[in-house]
Structure 1
Amino acid sequence: MSTTFHPEEVSIIMSAFKAKDTIGEAIASALNGTHRNLEILVSEDGLTDGTENTVVTDMAGKDQRIKYYKNPTNLGAYKSRNLMIEAATGQFIAFLDSDDIWEPNKLEECLKMLKQHPEVKSVGHALRYLDKRGNKVGYLPHILQIQKNCRRFKKTVRFPGFFPQL
């Protein structure tokens, strides 16, 4: 697969499996974010009835940044993501699960950390759990927010990473 590389672009990789109820909102959260230079590569993995995911195909018809791929068979999330990474054209890769919603500034904050610290190869963040009405039901702070764990992480991992608060 031959692709053209686009600096500053973020390729958002999304593997979808039985996600028709959540995927539209997940895609919209990335499209409506503050970072606009992006592509969203959706790999449909597991439609067994021969139909297309009309939520994604309708959105892709309205926004050229959305690219829809349908696996011929169920490959699983990891293989699907790897195929989308091969097709990606962005300078950066981000993963968005089909049932997740991003904060509007998520990509901006992650890119800011990467640009300020070129030695950093990976960024992540904490998670907020919401119920179906959008009410906060839990919060999982990233373990690396604790200084001792940050030092241990730097010693044991081959590449440094930062975890900005969003």
Structure 2
Amino acid sequence: MDADPREDIEALCLCALLWAPADTAARAVAIVETTDFHRPLHAELYCVIAALVREGAPHGTAMVATALERDGELAGHHGIRIARALTDIATAGADPVSLGYYAKAVVTRAYRRGYHEAAQSMAQAAAELPDDQLFEHLLAIGRERRTASRRLIALRAAEI
């Protein structure tokens, strides 16, 4: 992993999730989406952890590793990378009591990242789309950003 997991909000969120009690983990999983994670390995690990939480299964490091192994995800170069990411995350030292704050921070970062992506999409559209499609493209992006804004407002009001 490139960043120190002790300073990476996604890693801290995942660490807190690994160590959180089942009820706290379930509340976090109900609001965080896989697409909120910027790093693909974090998204992949979140997907496994969230599935365990939704099943009501233990969701600690050993069970996540077992699920990854069962699904053949620990083989090869990718397997080495995801196993290392899981180890780094499990030992990042996040307090599970802070899971709600970490979860909200991950979603907030995804929200802001969405604006960067929208700007890039509009720049590409301006260069490539026919004139008669530009405004509809802008409207689609606006609707997506409005939905994201409403989600963030609701999330900030929620207790995790």
TM-score under structure 1 length normalisation: 0.27
Which structure has more strand as a fraction of its residues? 1
TM-score under structure 2 length normalisation: 0.28
Structure with more relative contact order (C-alpha pairs < 8 Å, separation 6 or more): 2
